[in-house]
Structure 1
Amino acid sequence: MVRSAPALTRRVPRSYLPPKDAFVQLHGGDEQIHTFARKGLKEDKPDAYTFLDQFNWTPDDMAEVMVQIQDGKSPEEAAKAWVDGHEEKVNEWLKGTNA
């Protein structure tokens, strides 16, 4: 499973946060965002795999969250504000899961 997106606005700092089962990494140059899942995730945690497989957001979506963080919100506050404002998109990501 691989997801890509074009360059984010240069106002946004690059970061790397690896959770236990998957990670998203921003690369230099023409930035791309890739989602990787460990072998066996689909069998061990099908809801997590389905969510990651369906997860897709635009550079504008990402920039909206990152700019809020840069403007002083905590990452948690910025993420919650984005999720609250994009319920339809989030529900698409959760379709087929038990969430």
Structure 2
Amino acid sequence: MTPNESYVVTAETRALENRRSGFHECLSEVTRFLAAFEGVDAHCDDLRRRLITHLHSCMVKRDAEAKSVLANTAAMAGAAAAAAAAAAAANANSNV
């Protein structure tokens, strides 16, 4: 893997992790805020439960998508490195 390819994988990983941790922090803050209204009335409790369930579902989906993107990015970087190595070997053989 070239330094540029390594940088792309590292930058992609960092961006996805920052997004993931930001979403998780936001979910925690929403949960904490809504806890103040727990027990006010049944409608409020139902709305709070549905909102938290929805946000948690989004977080799980985003985590799965992030893992897929990272796997694809790493695979593409690995394939590019293998192609570069094969080209270098072919070039070396043609010079012999």
Query: TM-score when scaled to structure 2?
Result: 0.25
Greater per-residue helix proportion:
2
Give the number of the structure whose residues are more often strand, by fraction.
Answer: 1
Higher RCO (Cα < 8 Å, 6 or more apart): 2
TM-score calculated relative to the size of structure 1: 0.25
